[in-house]
Amino acid sequence: MRTLLAVVDEGTFDAAAAALHVTPSAVSQRVKALEQGTGRVLLLRTKPVRPTESGEVVLRLARQLVQLERDARAELGVAGEPATVPIAVNADSLATWFLPALTRVPEGICFELHREDEERTTRLLREGVVMAAVTSSAEAVQGCSVSALGRMRYLPVASPDFVARWLDRPFRRVIGDVPVVVFDRHDELQDKFARTLRRPGAGPARHYVPASEGYVDAVIAGLGWGLVPAAQAGPRLASGALVLLEPGRTMDVPLYWQQWKLHSPALSATARAVTAAAKDALVPPKPRDRPALRLSSLDT
């Protein structure tokens, strides 16, 4: 199972062999033996290698065993690799409140962050790539617990130059005709906001900027209007670099913390720190944001 982890993490059998200091043939034989033992194909031999649905199950088990071994070594005071918690987190959280949250975690715990859209972070949980995720899904991934963190608030903003050039009428009337900045082709936030103004969408002229800080810079540069996290928009509004387009209207995205149901001190400490930081940084969740089924403790 360590070999299976190495193949998935490194992306190829050759890279896994180099990481494990064995031959590619040995890696192939180990994976084949594991597949024969489970009676399932566990890996798709693509580039990079991807786990099958059955492989995701074994991959989760492998990561859990590795984490439990690290936790046990730490509790026994036996030297070994430091506890590492892989987490999937969306770009806007990463650029605003999430990194300060990790500074609240006790020393000795390392993090491997995977940046992914909040609507797709659960995919990494299902695949066994990460142990926890900040996600917009209230439905728990199998084998995981879920807890509401709060709501990330976005503000519709543009640069003063953009307003002078494009908005000769109220914004709500022209939102479908003016350029807009979106994160990537999976980003539907701006379209959802347009529908709250009773418009079909945000318009056909779109600039795609898949980086949180770069996104804000693109809006400030006047490429288009966009929905910017309140934490990033606030200082720019105060300085005059941005203008609020629809005062009183915001777009709130519920965020959740999902993690494996695994008793791990490192994972529990991380969950406590993230939950506390979210309480300070995010808009409180609404009653309807609460997951239908919740565990009494994140430590479960």
Burial of 26 (0-12, 13-18, 19+ CB in 10 A): middle
The pLDDT value recorded for residue 292 is: 62
**Rounded to whole angstroms, how far apart are CA atoms 298 and 300?**
5
**Rounded to whole angstroms, how far apart are CA atoms 11 and 71?**
26
Omega before residue 287 within 30° of 0, cis: no
Burial of 72 (0-12, 13-18, 19+ CB in 10 A): exposed
Entry pTM: 0.81
- The pLDDT tens digits for 12-62 are 999 999 999 999 999 999 999 999 999 999 999 998 999 998 998 899 889
Residue 153: which of 226, 228, 209 has the closest Cα?
A: 228
Low-confidence ranges of the chain (pLDDT < 50): 293-300
- The pLDDT tens digits for 95-113 are 999 999 999 998 888 999 9
* Amino acid in position 86: P
* pLDDT > 70: percent of the chain: 96
Query: Could you give the residue ranges of the DSSP H alpha helices within 134-292?
Result: 160-166, 171-174, 189-196, 212-221, 230-239, 265-281
The pLDDT value recorded for residue 95 is: 95
For the chain, which domains are there? Answer: 1-81 (1.10.10.10), 83-300 (3.40.190.290)
**Angle CA 97–189–100, to nearest 5:** 5
Asked whether 168 and 157 are in contact (CB, 8 A), the reply is no
- Structure-block tokens of residue 148: 């509401």
Mutual angle of helices 212-221 and 230-239, in 10-degree steps: 30
**Rounded to whole angstroms, how far apart are CA atoms 67 and 28?**
24
